[in-house]
């Protein structure tokens, strides 16, 4: 990729990165209150995503959320190298990646992590997530109702065997924090009891129409940060992740009304609400105007308590990323992935 155009670490319309509030993780390390997502949602090329990373770093982002399965870590690595070459220090950055489902076998975990490190051109990651709590995969473009014969429900002993490898990675200095993702309270209860090094964050879907308030309180009480994906309701998500019952956050009347009161796009009301609630949103866009607006929304013109309460009315439990392609043969519905009755589905 050609990053020959000059990189401006402080454009006049950007945000001073040192003024972006940071949250404190359980280790005492700091993480910016907003990050940039890098999933191309099957719509954007690795080069387009990498360019958005470079642009986002230029305008003041320091937290970039990556994943091996997004298929763009080598290109993002070039963007990170360019930014660091142009004066952004590694210690200012917070870079996360994720272990994909097909690398859960203990022998595969450290090689997968080292591949992400090599692709991103880094010596360590600030956080490494286990992307999903199952080793279940699906073919690209798999239909909603397809089931892999190898898929199976959550098995705690197997998950811990994967997790122990990440504890080793912390010991070896390859990662600074372990993150989990798409997990549930029953699964976290088991993990928190058994982990030698507790997870520092859970990455989970959260937006106004899927607020997960009880889960957020659970995490806060245990000093586990909530990293919010699809924070504005992922309007461009793949077709396989859409359902007629979905309630979109950006068009919800409460979100629209609050946005109008601030004279901003509803996406920005979602970002403000997320940051003020204490979760860490990772909205994505390849468009400079949008990712810059999201960062500015996180640091300026906060919502009032009444506006926060108004947006809270939008919550209707509308989960968008249901994950049905990860279901195992014999599972009843996508709800089995989420232990909605409080019991881990078998």
Ligand X SMILES: NC(=O)c1ccc[n+]([C@@H]2O[C@H](COP(=O)([O-])OP(=O)(O)OC[C@H]3O[C@@H](n4cnc5c(N)ncnc54)[C@H](OP(=O)(O)O)[C@@H]3O)[C@@H](O)[C@H]2O)c1
Segment near ligand X (CB under 6 A); pick from 25-33, 151-159, 279-287, 337-345:
279-287
Closest CA to 138 of 342, 346, 322: 322
294 binds ligand X (CB under 6 A): yes
Closest approach of Cβ 294 to ligand X, in Å? 5
Question: Are 174 and 197 in contact, with CB atoms under 8 Å apart?
Answer: no
Please confirm, yes or no, whether 70 is among the known catalytic residues: yes
Residue choice 237, 240, 262, 335 for contact with ligand X (CB under 6 A): 237
279 binds ligand X (CB under 6 A): no
Residue choice 99, 117, 230, 345 for contact with ligand X (CB under 6 A): 230
Question: Are 119 and 77 in contact, with CB atoms under 8 Å apart?
Answer: yes
Residue choice 151, 178, 283, 338 for contact with ligand X (CB under 6 A): 283
Site for ligand X in 109-128 (CB under 6 A): none
In the set 61, 70, 154, 159, the catalytic residue is 70
Site for ligand X in 146-205 (CB under 6 A): 181-182, 203
Task: Determine the Cα–Cα distance for residues 346 and 59; give it in Å rounded to an integer.
Answer: 46
Residue choice 229, 273, 326, 328 for contact with ligand X (CB under 6 A): 229
Task: Determine the Cα–Cα distance for residues 45 and 279; give it in Å rounded to an integer.
Answer: 28
Closest approach of Cβ 87 to ligand X, in Å? 25
Nearby residues of 51 by Cβ (< 8 Å), 6 or more positions away? 1, 79, 286
Residue 299: Cβ within 10 Å count: 17
User: What one-character DSSP code corresponds to residue 207?
Assistant: B
**Which strands, in side-by-side order, build the sheet including 280-281?**
36-37, 63-65, 94-99, 127-130, 178-181, 201-205, 225-229, 280-281
32 binds ligand X (CB under 6 A): no
Closest CA to 292 of 32, 43, 3, 61: 61
Site for ligand X in 51-80 (CB under 6 A): 65
Closest approach of Cβ 59 to ligand X, in Å? 13
Contacts with ligand X by CB under 6 A lie at 37-39, 41, 65, 131, 181-182, 203, 229-237, 265, 267-268, 282-287, 290, 293-294, 321
Active site residues: 70
């Amino acid at each position: 990729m050609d990053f020959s155009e000059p990189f401006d670490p402080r454009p006049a319309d950007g945000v001073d990165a040192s003024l972006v509030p940071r949250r404190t993780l359980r280790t005492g390390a700091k993480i910016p209150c907003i990050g940039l997502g890098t999933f191309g949602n099957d719509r954007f090329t690795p080069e387009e995503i990498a360019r958005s990373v470079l642009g986002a770093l230029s305008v003041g982002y320091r937290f970039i959320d990556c994943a091996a399965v997004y298929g763009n870590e080598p290109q993002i690595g070039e963007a990170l190298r360019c930014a660091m070459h142009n004066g952004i220090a590694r210690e200012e950055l917070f870079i996360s990646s994720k272990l994909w489902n097909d690398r859960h076998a203990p022998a595969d975990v450290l090689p997968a992590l080292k591949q992400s490190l090599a692709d991103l051109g880094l010596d360590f990651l600030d956080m490494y997530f286990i992307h999903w709590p199952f080793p279940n995969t699906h073919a690209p473009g798999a239909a909603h109702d397809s089931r892999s014969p190898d898929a199976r429900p959550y098995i705690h002993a197997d998950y811990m065997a994967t997790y122990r490898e990440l504890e080793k990675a912390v010991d070896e200095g390859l990662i600074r924090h372990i993150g989990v993702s798409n997990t549930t309270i029953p699964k976290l209860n088991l993990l928190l009891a058994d982990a030698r090094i507790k997870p520092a964050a859970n990455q989970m879907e959260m937006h106004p129409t899927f607020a997960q308030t009880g889960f957020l309180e659970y995490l806060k009480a245990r000093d586990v940060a909530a990293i919010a994906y699809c924070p504005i309701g992922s309007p461009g998500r793949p077709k396989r992740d859409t359902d007629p019952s979905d309630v979109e956050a950006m068009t919800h009347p409460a979100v629209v009304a609050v946005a109008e009161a601030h004279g901003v796009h509803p996406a920005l009301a979602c970002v403000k609400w997320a940051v003020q609630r204490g979760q860490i949103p990772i909205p994505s866009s390849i468009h400079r105007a949008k990712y810059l607006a999201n960062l500015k929304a996180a640091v300026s013109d906060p919502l009032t308590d009444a506006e926060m309460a108004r947006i809270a009315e939008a919550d209707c439990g509308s989960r968008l990323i249901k994950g049905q392609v990860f279901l195992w043969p014999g599972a009843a519905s996508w709800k089995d992935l989420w232990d909605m009755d409080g019991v881990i589905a078998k």
